[in-house]
């Protein structure tokens, strides 16, 4: 269901009644509920958000009735008497933020909740401030539900960030009912001051006193106050009137907005009154028609000019102001918009959709610039179920040529229920697609944020029916070389691989890929590789990686890729454990010379390394740069020259065809609990795992797979390369991560699917916001490797116009759980997915007993894609499984009644840095060896981009002091990959330990929670 908006050429005429202010309604109802007696609030608001406040107050025992157009509130004198244990804020952020603390004035404990998606809304800063005030509360994850004890707060000195005025209002509304004096101080930038001024003005109207500093950053409130009853009339709602103003401003018009009787006012009248001043400065002709009792806008032709606005005081006006600015002469600049991106959706990014219609909007993190244009073209747009975005884009679409469509057509009901009727009254035609309205149960008010747009825009067109069966069981009976041959025969000229390079993009067809694979396979045979042997290669995301992988499989050898950032130490371990006799490397990788590093290893280990041949691939065109130093018994080969001098005997290659049961992959884990372990996977597991994801997500023949994740990591290898080969679609390889280049390649090659870790998602979102360019075809982004912050997932869903899906997988098991585009937003990116078909998940206690839904315990899974075992470590393999054959993930988790998984912690001490697991124990051992270190513990500190970074807590030895730079030099001297270096060093007198001497890392993680890296780390 969509909202259809037809662009008009005729005059907008008519009159509408401006609804009453929902801002005043929320505050008046709440304050009246705290008074001792009956208050009357005239001017009913039909906004659904206000109705949520009414419902919640009633659930707290407040009697609220209606008398004509008046709310009659029977206050309880500051002591709520809840009717039920759980009360709901619905989808109203104002209700939630104002009432969490006020529920402590109940005569018993109350749980504050909200609609399903609201249970993922972070309120941590507000909860911490309420706790400082003495409110006793509990929240599992700093999101609703919040259990609040029925006990008056003590008051005290409270600090709160100035990000959202509703947080501060929630505190100052509660403070008069504390048992002692309260001081509230605002830290950081103060946003939305007019909303605070309204709260203070209305509190004083109800007889509550507080002292406010001149800069509105300190509030002093005496305890034990009593609210008095009032009779008041709600003023008109400027926030709703703004859409009528904008419609009249964009067209020839004669429009009357009844109820607005003055153009002179201030924050106490309405916190958004300044919008009228801004609109007038842009050239919107306004006058008060006293006889008609309203604001009249009359013009024959719009003459609008650009404006420069600080949005800190009117953040909710950004969407509609950017609509007006789109048709203004010159440039409009909207400054200080960062906090507007924390609303129901990322409103600045959502309005950048006007660029699809021919608008010219430029977005940076804290500023939106709008260049005026003469006209727009119709488009399919997403409202993100955000009422202000829906209404603003709808008004903009009325000036576009043709008919535009918007998703979630009933979102306006949340704040301005008569919007649709009012626009049609003004001869600005807007209709729901089938001509009917939707009820709440139909999804009109799910409250789902930006992620809900999936399936509505150009990038989310319905998936065509697949024409080739790729069921997991059928697929697992084929090997990758067999699938390659089939594609080469059936679609020889279609694109198989695109190699995105800095200077050019290289396309490889299916036929070309098959031919290159045969030649590389012949080269491996020439170098002595035989079936079952491991072929090691350390390459970036290049077409040669795909060629070499398939070449090894073509002769029954085992792929043993090495992550490009591994240095001598890690690479040496892989070579020794894998016994690989052939290694393929690039001559350069960033500032490093991998081939020379390998020769250094050979010099240190001699024949004990087992390496016989090293093939060097040129990072640029031409011949590879081979090392000048002696090879130490290792034969050096230039990749291109070696291929050119190799004869291909296809009959000999065909005779070595492996079976699906043959080992196809050897990947080494990051060694989180000790030395890295070699994970072996047979061909059938890899093909089946890819086919399972294809079926789960409905990937089809028109998809294109984008692969920014390292192919040497399971994410890129299996859910990039292998998945594209199984589905028979192109894969777009990006060797060096650059978000802007990525955005270009996504659009150039019409990429529709990607699976990658959180940093890729975060960087891509920033690139889109900075450039205004969007990935036009991307349908699905599966985020793996590390927990994706909810705010990032929500923001990414809107900015990228794609479905962000949560997932869980390991090298040992492949994907075990995955959400899908059709899942509710709260589950799609608010969970780690649910079991794929054929996989079973369970949560157990330490005795192995299965636990009920929503109970935290040990996460175990049973899957047909579980690995064959750890290389030469049957003891570790045995430990990885329960007695009844379930794989122990080592994670703590819950599974809800709908089957959705949520990872809650780790059984063992692991730091997950953007999908790479930091080997904590090993780093601690290396740091412990430093003479300036007496004791050390490494723990995770939260990071918005990477999920986690490492922080080292160090106890100095004998007065010595280890500096941050000295720590880095120490680890560099031990050839530790930079991704594993701690990015914060904290000195501590003694590590916290329990009675038996075990370091209590929970306490250290708590200390690290508010820390930031000394500098951005590697990668």
Write out the catalytic residue numbers.
Answer: 316
Nearest to 532 by CA among 666, 439, 423, 417: 666
**Who's near 686: CB < 8 A, 6+ residues apart?**
480, 664, 665, 718, 722, 814
Helix (H) or strand (E) holding 604: helix 594-605
How far is the C-alpha of 673 from the C-alpha of 682, rounded, in Å?
Answer: 25
Flag whether 165 is marked binding.
yes
Residues facing 843 on adjacent strands: 859
Tokens 């070595």 correspond to what residue? 656
CB atoms within 10 A of CB 143: 18
Tokens 């048709």 correspond to what residue? 327
Q: Is 259 left (phi over 0), alpha (psi -120 to 50) or beta?
A: left
Flag whether 486 is marked binding.
no
Q: Are strands 146-148 and 137-138 parallel, antiparallel or unpaired?
A: antiparallel
Flag whether 487 is marked binding.
no
Flag whether 530 is marked binding.
no
Task: Tell the burial category of 484 from Cβ atoms under 10 Å away from its Cβ (0-12, 13-18, 19+).
Answer: buried
Flag whether 316 is marked binding.
yes
Q: Rounded to a whole number, what is the largest CA-CA distance in the chain?
A: 100
Task: Tell the burial category of 74 from Cβ atoms under 10 Å away from its Cβ (0-12, 13-18, 19+).
Answer: middle
Cβ 708 vs Cβ 754: under 8 Å:
yes
Buried b (16+ CB within 10 A) or exposed e, 553-590: bbbbbbbbbbbbbbbbebbbbbbebbebbbbbbbbbbe
Flag whether 27 is marked binding.
yes
The DSSP call for residue 941 is E
How far is the C-alpha of 545 from the C-alpha of 532, rounded, in Å?
Answer: 19
Flag whether 388 is marked binding.
yes
**Six-digit token string for 419:** 């919007």
**Six-digit token string for 573:** 């371990």
How far is the C-alpha of 420 from the C-alpha of 1, rounded, in Å?
Answer: 15
**Who's near 445: CB < 8 A, 6+ residues apart?**
48, 91, 410, 411, 413, 414
How far is the C-alpha of 737 from the C-alpha of 741, rounded, in Å?
Answer: 8
Flag whether 828 is marked binding.
no
Nearest to 673 by CA among 869, 890, 883: 890
**Who's near 999: CB < 8 A, 6+ residues apart?**
937, 991, 992, 993
How far is the C-alpha of 931 from the C-alpha of 971, rounded, in Å?
Answer: 13
Helix (H) or strand (E) holding 1003: helix 1001-1008
SS3 of 486-546: the string is HHHHHCCCCEEEEEECCCCEEEEEHHHHHHHHHHHHHHHHHCCCCCCCEEEEECCCCHHHH
Flag whether 166 is marked binding.
yes
Buried b (16+ CB within 10 A) or exposed e, 267-287: bbbbbbbbbbebbeebbbebe
Cβ 985 vs Cβ 964: under 8 Å:
yes
Sign of CA dihedral 969, 970, 973, 979: negative
Helices (H), 232-375: 238-250, 274-281, 318-326, 347-351
Flag whether 398 is marked binding.
no
Task: Report phi then psi at 56, rounded to 5.
Answer: -65, -45
How far is the C-alpha of 317 from the C-alpha of 277, rounded, in Å?
Answer: 12
Cβ 390 vs Cβ 383: under 8 Å:
yes
The per-residue DSSP string of 65-127 comes to: EEETTEEEEE--SS-B--SSSEEE-TT-HHHHHHHHHHGGGBSS-EEEE-SGGGGG---HHHH
**Who's near 467: CB < 8 A, 6+ residues apart?**
701
What residues are designated binding site for 3-phosphoshikimate? 22, 27, 165-166, 316, 343
What residues are designated binding site? 22, 27, 93, 121, 165-166, 316, 343, 347, 388
What residues are designated binding site for phosphoenolpyruvate? 22, 93, 121, 166, 347, 388
């Amino acid at each position: 269901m969509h909202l259809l908006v037809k662009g008009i050429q005729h005059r907008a005429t008519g009159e509408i009644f401006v609804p009453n202010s929902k801002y005043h309604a929320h505050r008046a109802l709440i304050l009246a509920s705290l008074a001792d007696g009956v208050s009357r609030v005239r001017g009913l608001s039909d906004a659904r958000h206000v109705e949520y406040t009414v419902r919640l107050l009633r659930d707290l025992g407040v009697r609220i009735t209606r008398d004509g157009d008046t709310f009659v509130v029977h206050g309880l004198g500051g002591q709520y008497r809840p009717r039920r244990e759980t009360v709901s804020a619905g989808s109203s952020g104002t209700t939630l933020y104002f009432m969490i603390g006020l529920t402590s004035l109940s005569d018993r404990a109350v749980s504050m909740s909200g609609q399903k998606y609201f249970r993922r809304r972070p309120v941590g800063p507000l909860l911490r401030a309420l706790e400082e005030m003495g409110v006793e509360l509990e929240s599992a994850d700093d999101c609703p539900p919040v259990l609040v004890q029925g006990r008056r707060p003590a008051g005290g000195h409270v600090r709160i960030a100035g990000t959202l005025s509703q947080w501060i209002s929630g505190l100052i509304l509660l403070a008069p009912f504390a048992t002692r004096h309260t001081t509230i101080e605002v830290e950081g930038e103060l946003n939305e001051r007019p909303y605070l001024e309204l709260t203070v003005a209305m509190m004083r109207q109800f007889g509550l006193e507080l002292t406010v500093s001149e800069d509105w950053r300190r509030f002093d409130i005496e305890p034990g106050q009593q609210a008095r009853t009032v009779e008041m009339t709600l003023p008109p709602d400027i926030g709703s009137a703004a859409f009528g103003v904008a419609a009249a401003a964009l067209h020839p018009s004669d429009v009357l907005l009844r109820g607005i009787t003055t153009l002179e006012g201030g924050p106490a009248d309405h916190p958004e009154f300044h919008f009228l001043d801004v609109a007038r400065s842009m050239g919107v002709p306004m006058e008060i028609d006293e006889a008609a009792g309203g604001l009249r806008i009359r013009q024959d032709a719009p003459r609008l000019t650009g404006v420069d606005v600080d949005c800190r005081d009117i953040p909710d006006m950004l969407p509609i102001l950017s609509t007006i600015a789109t048709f203004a002469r010159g440039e409009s600049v909207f400054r200080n918009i960062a906090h507007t991106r924390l609303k129901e959706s990322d409103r600045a990014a959502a309005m950048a959709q006007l660029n699809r219609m021919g608008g010219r909007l430029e977005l940076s993190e804290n500023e939106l610039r709008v260049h005026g244009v003469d006209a727009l073209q119709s488009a399919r747009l997403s409202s993100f179920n955000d009422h202000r975005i829906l209404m603003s884009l709808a008004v903009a679409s009325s000036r576009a040529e043709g008919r535009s469509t918007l998703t979630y057509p009933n979102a306006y009901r949340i704040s301005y229920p008569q919007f649709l009727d009012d626009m049609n009254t003004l001869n600005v035609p807007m209709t729901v697609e089938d001509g009917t309205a939707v009820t709440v149960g139909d999804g009109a008010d799910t409250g789902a944020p930006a992620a809900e747009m999936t399936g509505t825009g150009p990038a989310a067109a319905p998936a065509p029916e697949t024409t080739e069966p790729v069921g997991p069981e059928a697929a697992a009976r084929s090997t990758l070389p067999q699938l390659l041959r089939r594609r080469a025969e059936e679609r020889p000229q279609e694109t198989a691989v695109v190699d995105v390079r800095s200077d050019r993009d290289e396309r490889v067809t299916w036929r070309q890929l098959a031919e290159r694979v045969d030649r590389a396979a012949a080269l491996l045979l020439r170098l002595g590789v035989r079936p079952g042997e491991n072929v090691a290669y350390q390459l970036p995301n290049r077409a040669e990686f795909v060629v070499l992988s398939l070449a090894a499989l073509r002769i029954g050898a085992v792929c043993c890729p090495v992550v490009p950032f591994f240095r001598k130490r890690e690479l040496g371990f892989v070579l020794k454990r894998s016994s690989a006799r052939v290694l393929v490397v690039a001559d350069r990788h960033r500032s490093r010379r991998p081939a020379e590093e390998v020769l250094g290893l050979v010099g240190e280990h001699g024949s004990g390394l087992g390496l016989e041949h090293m093939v060097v691939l040129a990072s640029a065109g031409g011949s590879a740069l081979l090392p000048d130093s002696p090879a130490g018994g290792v034969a050096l080969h230039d990749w291109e020259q070696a291929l050119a001098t190799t004869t291909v005997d296809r009959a000999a290659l065909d005779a070595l065809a492996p079976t699906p049961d043959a080992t196809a992959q050897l990947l080494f884990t990051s060694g989180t609990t000790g030395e890295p372990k070699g994970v072996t996977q047979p061909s059938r597991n890899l093909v089946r795992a890819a086919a399972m994801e294809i079926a789960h997500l409905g990937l089809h023949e028109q998809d294109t797979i984008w692969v920014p994740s390292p192919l040497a990591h399971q994410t890129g290898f299996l859910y990039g390369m292998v998945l594209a080969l199984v589905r028979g679609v192109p894969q777009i390889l990006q060797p060096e991560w650059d978000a802007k280049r990525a955005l270009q390649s996504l659009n150039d090659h019409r990429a529709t699917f990607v699976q990658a870790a959180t940093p890729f998602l975060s960087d891509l979102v920033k690139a889109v916001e900075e450039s205004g360019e969007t990935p036009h075809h991307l349908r699905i982004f599966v985020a793996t490797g590390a927990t994706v912050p909810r705010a990032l997932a929500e923001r990414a869903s809107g900015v990228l116009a794609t479905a962000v899906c949560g997932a869980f997988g390991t090298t040992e098991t492949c994907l075990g759980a995955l959400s899908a585009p059709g899942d509710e937003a709260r589950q799609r990116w608010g969970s780690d997915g649910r079991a794929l078909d054929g996989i079973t998940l369970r949560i157990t206690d330490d005795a192995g007993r299965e636990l009920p839904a929503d109970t935290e315990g040990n996460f175990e899974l049973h899957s047909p894609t579980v690995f064959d075992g750890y290389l030469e470590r049957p003891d570790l393999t045995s430990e990885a499984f329960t007695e009844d054959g379930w794989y122990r993930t080592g994670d703590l988790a819950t599974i809800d009644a709908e089957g959705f998984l949520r990872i809650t912690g780790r059984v063992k001490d692991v730091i997950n840095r953007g999908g790479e697991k930091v080997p904590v124990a090993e780093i601690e051992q290396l740091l412990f060896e430093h003479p300036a270190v007496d004791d050390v513990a490494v723990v995770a500190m939260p990071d918005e981009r990477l999920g986690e970074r490492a922080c080292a807590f160090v106890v100095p030895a004998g007065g010595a002091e280890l500096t941050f730079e000295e720590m880095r030099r120490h680890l560099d001297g031990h050839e530790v990959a930079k991704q594993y270096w701690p990015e914060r060093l904290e000195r501590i007198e003694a590590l916290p330990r329990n009675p038996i001497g075990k370091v209590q890392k929970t306490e250290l993680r708590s200390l690290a929670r508010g820390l930031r890296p000394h500098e951005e780390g590697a990668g």
